[in-house]
Each structure stands twice: as C-alpha cells, then as structure tokens.
Amino acid sequence: MNGKDKNRKLLDGNDLLTAAVLATGFISVVGLIETYRFNKHHSNNGAKKETIEITPTPETKKTLPFKDFVSSLEDEIKKSTKVFIVGHNSPDLDAIGSAIGLHHLVTTYGKKAYIVVDDDETKIEPGTKRIIDENRKKYKIINKNMCKKLIKEEDSPLLIMTDVNKKDMISLGDSLESFRRVFIIDHHSTNEQTVPTKHMYINEEESSASEIVSKVLFAKKIKLVQEVANSLLAGISLDTKRFKQNTTPSTHDVAEKLIAAGADMEYVNNLFLQDFETHCRIQNLIINGTIIKRLSESLLSPIQASFTFNRNNPLEEHVPEDYAKAADQMLKFAGVDAAFVLGYVEPGVIHVSARGNKKVNVGKIMDAIGGGGNAQSAGARIETDNISEVESQILEKAMMVIGSDEKVLEEPQVVKVKQLKYPNK
C-alpha cells in the first residue's frame, strides 16, 4: 500500500456523504477522505493566516438613500426622450423582470424606453426566454447594434442598469461611453469594475433587483399591468429560491402587492418548470465531478463546501443557468455551507456559480477572483483554459475569507462523489 492509500479510509454513515450523495436517484457514492495539501497560505509552521478584505473603491461608496434615488430617477426620466435599460449578460428572470418593470416606469411618464439584450437567445434559460419572446415588441427589447443606432439620435441618452453594476458584465461595450447619465439599481456588491455614477441605489439586503424596482413603482403609485407584475414576481421568486431564502418581511409584502396587482402565481411557477434534458445535464454535472471539502475544524459547527465541475470531460460547455441550478441543488444538502460550480460557457471562458448559507459569504470569495454578487449568491466569468487552476484559486480565496473569522483546516478533508457503475447484464 502506497502513502496515498494509507491516508484513505471509508466514510461512516453519519458523514456528509448522505447529503452529497443522493443528489439524484441515479447515483451512489464511494466516499473517500484523503489529505489535501494546502500550503500556499496555510503552512504547518504556525505562521499567521492571511485574510482578505474587499474594500469598495471611492466611486462605489456613493449609494443614494432610496427616496433621494427615486426622486432623482424621476427627474432624469422626465428630462429624457429615450431611456435605455440593460441587465447583466446572460439575463435571468431578475434581470429581465426588473428591466420590464423599469420600462413600465419610463413609459408611464410618456417617454420611449428600450431594453437591451445582446445574448445568443438559444443559450438563455427557457423561463427568461419565454418572457423575452412574449414581451419583445411591447417592451421594445433590442440588441446592441440597434441600441447604437438609437443612441446617435439622442444628445444625452439616459441609461438605467439593473441587477448589475459592473461594466464588464453588460453587453454595451464602447457604447457605455455614450451615456453621460447612468443610473444603477442593484443588490450585488461593488468593486473596481463598478460603473462610476452619482446615481446609484445598491442594497445587498434586498432580495433582488425586481424587489427594488417594485418598491420604486409602488413609491410613485404607478398602476401595474399583469405582464409587469408577473415579470417582477418571477424575478423575486428566482433570487429567493421561491421565497426560501434571502427574504425579509418587506419581500413578502412586495410579493403580496404584486399578486394584488394581477400577478398570476401559476404563470410564474410555470416559468420554473424544468425539462427532462436539462435535469439530466445538471445531474450529470454533479455526478461527474463533485467533491466536498471540510474547511474549518470546529467540532460543533464545521464549515464545508462543495466544488463541482465535469472532471470526466472538463471542456464540456453548459449554459450559465445549468451551473447556477447545480449550485442551488448542492446547497440544499445538509452539511454543505457553500457550493461552487464551474465550467465552460464557450471555449476559453469559464463561468462560476457560487451559493452560500449564512456561514459563508460567497460574494467576498467571488469578488476576490474578479466576480461579484451578494453574500449568498454570486458568480464570476474567467477567461482561461485551466479549470483546475480556477478551482484551486476559489479554494484558496474561500479559505482566506473564512480564515478572517474561523480557524480553518490546514489540510481540508475531501469527500469525492462518483458515479455508480452498474454491472453488465
């Protein structure tokens, strides 16, 4: 038996295995604990652990009070003839739902509004694509090239960014420089990529951009139509995992008002239906490459994180929503405090979806690798051909963030999740 084999032992039934393994009815798990050497920041010589702090740049600290923001937004809309609204790349239900809500706000004041979506629509999640298809004409959903043409007709166009605050996460590219007036509505953390503007309302305590936009509409006493109420409720439902997390009494109050305004819960629920093919893709992603690392040595409340990518076929590409759904699923298991799922969305471009409970601030971890988000839901987009290096980097930053508050393991234990091999009949 070699040195590596000596470090292995079978897990006992009380281990985290039960949580990680029964992700579907198709798998069983061979659990192995093996030593994972992590020496870059955590050596055995008792050296002080390095910690990480994320400090906002001066431009991103100037978040306006809500009432002041709403008043300023109203004033600037009234001064405009055309208003452009953009969410993040690979829009989800919150990005498109809040954009439709803002479009309704702008047109209520008699101004023209356009929603910019410049993604390959074959790669947009089905629920989001359904809303885009149903509302494309009425809510003037246009691509980047059409946006450029319309900008040229306007002396001082107004841009509203929703569910995003970073310039590298929107599709406008160089066109961003054409906007002298930029407003930001978001619930994600800021960093050096945040678009500098004095008109921003960023509140990480809010469940979603759709909740914030709903509050703007309610504050101005604007009557909603059903498709707007549906879109906003869908955005809130997505980012709260159907009201299971990230909610406050205010979130439920907003949802109640949207339903009273005509939102159809059956319609919203149908947006989340998953086809069998998508389900299989996500389960295969989890089965073919999930490991779970115990990162803190607390006996009463250890911190454990799952790391997932397709280790059998690392270059396999998925739509970003597959990674997000896989991360959501992993966080449902007992003993998993944070879930990191990564993989390619195109050659040389890796998407990371991160989810955490109250023990782990995944937003700080993603900030540290160039991404962003909030404490419980975050992500990153990284250009590289080395997915294993990205996983190592996430582990490194995770231990640095956790190390600011917790005593971490110098040698994290690892649980591997493997596919069951059925005997040939």
**Contact by Cβ (8 Å): 391, 306:** no
Query: What sections of 271-361 are H helices per DSSP?
Result: 276-287, 320-330
Q: Give the type of residue at 202.
A: I
28-64 in b/e form (b: 16+ CB < 10 A) is ebebbbbebebeebbeeeeeebeebebebeeebeebb
Look at residues 59, 72, 87, 69 and name the one whose alpha carbon lies nearest to residue 194.
59
Token pair belonging to 216: 């703007």
pLDDT in tens, 199-238: 999 999 999 999 999 999 999 999 999 999 999 999 999 9
Q: What pLDDT shows up at residue 159?
A: 97
Cα first-last separation, the chain: 33
* Cβ contact 100:231 at 8 Å: yes
Specify whether the CB–CB gap between 163 and 115 falls below 8 A.
Answer: no
CATH topology for 3-35+288-417 is Diaminopimelate Epimerase; Chain A, domain 1 (3.10.310)
Q: What is the dihedral of CA 124, 127, 128, 133, to 10 degrees?
A: 100
What's the pTM?
0.71
Determine what percent of the chain falls in helix, strand and coil, rounding each to the nearest 5. Answer: 40, 20, 40
Are 36 and 295 in contact, with CB atoms under 8 Å apart?
A: no
Identify the pLDDT of residue 415.
Answer: 54
Q: How far apart are CA 109 and CA 43, in angstroms?
A: 61
Encoded tokens for 43? 């050596």
C-alpha 380: how far from chain center: 8
Residues carrying CATH 3.10.310.30, the chain: 3-35+288-417
Tokens representing residue 77 in the block: 């809309």
pLDDT at 12: 35
- State residue 55's pLDDT score: 37
| CB 170 within 8 Å of CB 149 | no
CA distance 6 to 169: 47
* Fold of the 58-270 domain: inorganic pyrophosphatase (n-terminal core) (3.90.1640)
Per-residue pLDDT tens digits for 157-170:
999 999 999 998 99
Structural tokens at position 369: 């690798």
Determine the Cα–Cα distance for residues 210 and 39; give it in Å rounded to an integer.
43
The owner of tokens 């601030």 is 361
For residue 332, CA distances in Å to 192, 242, 245, 268, 273 come to 32, 13, 11, 22, 18
Mean pLDDT by 10 residues, the chain (425 residues): 37 36 33 29 36 37 87 96 94 97 97 94 89 96 94 87 94 89 94 92 95 98 97 96 91 97 96 89 90 79 91 91 93 93 95 93 92 90 94 93 60 52 45
- 31 Cβ neighbours under 8 A, 6+ residues apart: 10, 11, 15, 17, 21, 415, 416
What pLDDT is attached to residue 206? Answer: 95
CB distance 113 to 140 below 8 Å: yes
CA-based R_g, the chain, Å = 23
Domain limits, CATH 3.90.1640.10, in the chain: 58-270
Please tell me the predicted confidence (pLDDT) of residue 170: 94
Parallel, antiparallel, or unpaired: how do β-strands 377-383 and 372-373 relate? antiparallel
- Using alpha carbons, select from 283, 296, 303, 311 the residue that is nearest to residue 416: 311
Paired residues of 352 in beta bridges: 342, 380
List C-alpha distances in Å: 284 to 20, 145, 272, 316, 339.
14, 37, 20, 11, 16
* pLDDT of res. 245: 85
Q: What angle do CA 289, 295, 298 make, to 5 degrees?
A: 140
Token pair of 390 as six digits: 């990205």
Cα torsion through 211, 216, 221, 223, rounded to 10: -60
The whole-number pLDDT of residue 189 equals 87
